[in-house]
Each structure stands twice: as structure tokens, then as C-alpha cells.
Amino acid sequence: MILVSSCLAGMEVRYNGTHSLNQTIRELIEQNKAVSVCPELLGGFFTPREPAEIIGGDGDDVLDGKAKVVEKSGRDVTDMYIKGAYAALEKAQDIHATTVVLKEYSPSCGSAMIYNGRFENEKMTGNGVTTALLTRHGIRVISEEQLAELVVS
Ligand code: SF4
């Protein structure tokens, strides 16, 4: 079974109330080969919500207490991001997910690139908080940009 970002499945759960539909992901859901999760909603956020970025590092640094997640207006929401990451981990473990496909660039779900923490619409190398936690628990995380690597049984 595969776990995927809810926004990739077409759900309007992004901070601004939109989705990031990926047709392949939607088909996996329809074929009961994947289930979706939105770590930010599990962390206690609603849609729409303020955009947030990681300041001082990436998801691994957040887990290590060296960086924080902050909304554009300045509110520290690190604890909510960590809570959402643990809830997503629990879901991944519940369904014995072999692979997880998460939305690139998100402070929760990014796996190769995230925004740089200055709200400049600039990206940098790094992962999101949920991706960092899942990876630390031996779960393979890829993004929608790596779907060609996905082998679904
Ligand atoms: Fe939710 Fe992740 Fe999509 Fe953000 S990128 S809306 S946290 S599923």
C-alpha cells in the first residue's frame, strides 16, 4: 500500500484552499492502491491557513530542535508540524506503507526541495518535517516528480 499527500489526490487542503491534483495519484486512490494523508490537517490546521516555511534549516533540523516552522505573520507553529508528522507516521505504519509519495516543496511534505524560510518564493535543498520523520523510520519518501520510479503491486 502507498501513502500519498492528500493535495496530490485532488483534495483542496493546501494552505490557500487549492489542490495539486496528480492524475496518476488519483488513479492509485481509485484503484485502492493508495490512501491519502495531509500532515498539516492532522497537526491541527484548517484550510485555508497562513503559508509557513522552515526557518533555520530543514525538516531534519526541526526534528533536532535546531530550526522552527513559522507562519508568514510570525507565529511559531513548529509543534503543530511535528504533531502532524507523527500522525502521518502512524498512518503510514498502520497501512504498512512501502512507499510514500509526498508533495514537493512543502514544509511538511517536501523531500528534495523546500522554500528557504524567507517567504521570497525561493527554494533550497532540504526536506519537510513529515518527510524527515518518515525517513528516520525507514520509510521511503518520493515526490510526485519521481513517480516514474514507483512500482505498484
Ligand atoms: Fe497537506 Fe502535505 Fe499537501 Fe501540504 S503538501 S496540503 S501538508 S498533503
Q: What is the pLDDT of residue 150?
A: 78
Q: What is the pLDDT of residue 151?
A: 67
Q: In the chain, how many domains are there?
A: 1
Q: What is the pLDDT of residue 153?
A: 56
Secondary structure (3-state) at 55: strand
Q: What is the pLDDT along the chain (153 residues), one digit of tens a residue?
A: 999 999 999 999 999 999 999 999 999 999 999 999 999 999 999 999 999 999 999 999 999 999 999 999 999 999 999 999 999 999 999 999 989 999 999 999 999 999 999 999 999 999 999 999 999 999 999 999 999 887 665
Q: What is the pLDDT of residue 98?
A: 85
126 CB burial (10 A radius; 0-12, 13-18, 19+): buried
Please state the atom number of ligand 1 nearest to the C-alpha of residue 40.
Answer: 7
Ligand 1 contact via 7 beta carbon (within 6 Å): yes
Residue 129 burial (CB count, 10 A):
34
Domain that holds residue 70: 2-152
Ligand 1 contact via 38 beta carbon (within 6 Å): yes
Its pTM stands at 0.97
Please state the atom number of ligand 1 nearest to the C-alpha of residue 41.
Answer: 1
Ligand 1 contact via 104 beta carbon (within 6 Å): no
Q: What is the pLDDT of residue 148?
A: 85
Q: Is 13 left (phi over 0), alpha (psi -120 to 50) or beta?
A: alpha
Q: Which helix (H) or strand (E) holds 87?
A: helix 78-94
Cell digits for 111? Answer: 523531500
